[in-house]
Amino acid sequence: MIGPADLRDLELFQGLTQAQLAELAAAGEEVRFRRGDVVFRGGEHADSWWVLVDGAIDLLRHVGREDVVVRSMDVPGQWAGGFRAWDEHGVYLATGRGATTGRVLRVPADALRELAQVWFPLAAHLIEGLYSTARSIESTARHRESLVTLGTLAAGLAHEINNPAASATRAVDALEDASATLLDSLGRLAGDEISAHQFSTLDALRQELPGRPLRGDPMELADDEDAVADWLDRHGVVDGWRLAPLLVGGGADPAWCERVAGAFDGPALGTGLTWVASAASMTALLAEVKEATNRISGLVAAVRSYSQMDRASRQQVDVTEGIESSLVILGHKLGAGVTVVRDYDPTMPPVDAYAGELNQVWANIIDNAVDAMEGAGTLRITTRARPDSVVVELADSGTGMSPEVAARVFEAFYTTKDVGKGTGLGLDIARRIVEERHGGTIGVEPTTDGATLRVELPLRAGGRVS
């Protein structure tokens, strides 16, 4: 048992009375440790205050692929943790591991709070105010960052959806005209008293038309339209210039038109070609509507995948799928100037993770990479499977970063962007998600002509990349 005598000579407790030392010892408990024992673990709630009585404890942070000693508690009276006495969100900033055998006094955070309020009421209020103010500033800044990110994604999504939606609207308007023309021409064919055999022949010729790609060579298309328009003029077809683009869009050429002329003569030829042209136009317009609506459905699916709004919080996650949905969401920023090179490992296993949070990581890294390239360059995304983890590397061909910037790039509120263009929270959020939420690692490799962000994630929940 640790008693007042064990605490009396510790500099930390100078000024406390014998009664206060006894009260403190009674509120806590002795915890013995040996070399290699984990006394407390970084990232977990700091529910206890640990005061070193004798021995030594190493404080470790996970950096890259290994645990690095960032400090040692080797002087009696040094302490760690206890943050939840004043901050309900307080966590241990590092992992404490025994460097030798020794003892610590463990005081629950709520007991520490009560003692401080009785012994040092002013100091307790100051500490509580400090934590509250710092947490409020951070929360407000992160909320602002979330709103900015949401606004950016919403604007980008609206931009991406606008094009196929507008295309579908135009196609539907054109379909109305084409269907009216088709019905009108069908009525005029009946009025011309063509035979059932002639109509069957015309319909068979229509079905032979191969159609054309929605996006072909413009010069070749113009030449074909001129050739068909000339044929229509020579055969006295009224408004040949208007029918030619529709017929060519369906795949017609002068040779096919000659075959139609073999089955018709007089006014019925123009009417029959008008019926074929309107039918071909409807087919092309329906294909355009289908393409546009499929594109919209794909965007909605990408948003659902990105937000993970319909899935459980922690799940088996396909990392590649998350990266792809993030690329779709940020498509408006990539534009035509950024080339995305994908080097995905086909053997990538799923990871046990918070899918929506991982997608925030990919989006933040991609967004920063595009900004570094100023909208033009190459973004290379590489994924690799390892025995107990997966590795994702995102490399940009931007302006690069200095070692000084690389050393601070994951710090909260640190940014190299101009005022109004960044809050310095994107990569800090990515670091917290990767390291604290998933037990992984995230690092940057700066170069003179770009930078590579490397993320490694364990396959199992709570795992550590080693």
- pLDDT the model gives residue 422: 44
Whole domain around residue 423: which residue ranges?
308-458
Residue 232 lies in a domain: yes
Compute the distance between CA of residue 272 and CA of residue 188 in angstroms, rounded to an integer: 9
- pLDDT the model gives residue 136: 59
- pLDDT the model gives residue 92: 86
Residues 187 and 283 in one domain: yes
- pLDDT the model gives residue 57: 95
- In terms of Cα–Cα distance, which of 418, 461, 459 is closest to 437? 461
Residue 396 lies in a domain: yes
pTM value surpassing 0.85: no
Residue 98 or residue 422, greater confidence: 98
- pLDDT the model gives residue 466: 40
Residue 252 lies in a domain: yes
Top-confidence range, 9-13, 98-102, 162-166, 409-413: 98-102
Compute the distance between CA of residue 173 and CA of residue 285 in angstroms, rounded to an integer: 10
Compute the average pLDDT of residues 351-365: 85
Compute the average pLDDT of residues 152-157: 66
| CATH number of the domain to which 109 belongs | 2.60.120.10
Residue 135 lies in a domain: no
Residue range 227-284, pLDDT digits in tens: 999 999 988 888 888 889 889 888 899 999 989 888 877 778 888 899 999 998 888 8
> Which among 257, 273, 298 is the end of a domain?
298
Residue range 211-230, pLDDT digits in tens: 766 556 788 888 888 999 99
- pLDDT band of 308, cuts 50, 70, 90: low
Residue range 406-452, pLDDT digits in tens: 777 777 655 655 444 444 456 777 888 888 888 899 888 877 678 88
Residues 164 and 270 in one domain: yes
> Which among 270, 298, 326 is the end of a domain?
298
Residue 437 or residue 453, greater confidence: 453
Residue 147 lies in a domain: no
Phi and psi at residue 169, in whole multiples of 5°?
-65, -45
Structural domains in the chain (count)? 3
- pLDDT the model gives residue 464: 44
Instruction: Find where tokens 């900015």 sit.
Output: 148
For the chain, the three-class secondary structure string (H helix, E strand, C coil) is CCCHHHHHCCHHHCCCCHHHHHHHHHHCEEEEECCCCEEECCCCECCEEEEEEECCEEEEEEECCEEEEEEEECCCCCEEECHHHCCCCCECCCEEEECCCEEEEEEEHHHHHHHHHHHCHHHHHHHHHHHHHHHHHHHHHHHHHHHHHHHHHHHHHHHHHHHHHHHHHHHHHHHHHHHHHHHHHHHHHHHCCCCHHHHHHHHHHHHHCCCCCCCCCHHHHHHHHHHHHHHHHHCCCCCHHHHHHHHHHHCCCHHHHHHHHCCCCCHHHHHHHHHHHHHHHHHHHHHHHHHHHHHHHHHHHHHHHHHCCCCCCEEEECHHHHHHHHHHHCHHHHCCCEEEEEECCCCCCCEEEEHHHHHHHHHHHHHHHHHHCCCCEEEEEEEEECCCEEEEEEEECCCCCCHHHHHHCCCCCCCCCCCCCCCCCHHHHHHHHHHHHCCCEEEEEEECCEEEEEEEEECCCCCCCC
Task: Evaluate if residue 341 carries a pLDDT over 60.
Answer: yes
Among 143-152, 260-269, 325-334, the minimum mean pLDDT is found in 143-152
Residues 84 and 45 in one domain: yes
CB 430 within 8 A of CB 438: no
Residues 271 and 170 in one domain: yes
Residues 113 and 207 in one domain: no
Give CA 264 to chain center in angstroms. 60
Compute the average pLDDT of residues 279-307: 77
- pLDDT the model gives residue 153: 65
Instruction: Find where tokens 């298309």 sit.
Output: 221
Residue 149 lies in a domain: no
Residue 329 or residue 10, greater confidence: 10
> Which among 298, 326, 352 is the end of a domain?
298
- pLDDT the model gives residue 50: 93
| CATH number of the domain to which 434 belongs | 3.30.565.10
- pLDDT band of 355, cuts 50, 70, 90: confident
Among 8-17, 151-160, 344-353, 430-439, the minimum mean pLDDT is found in 151-160
- pLDDT band of 75, cuts 50, 70, 90: very high
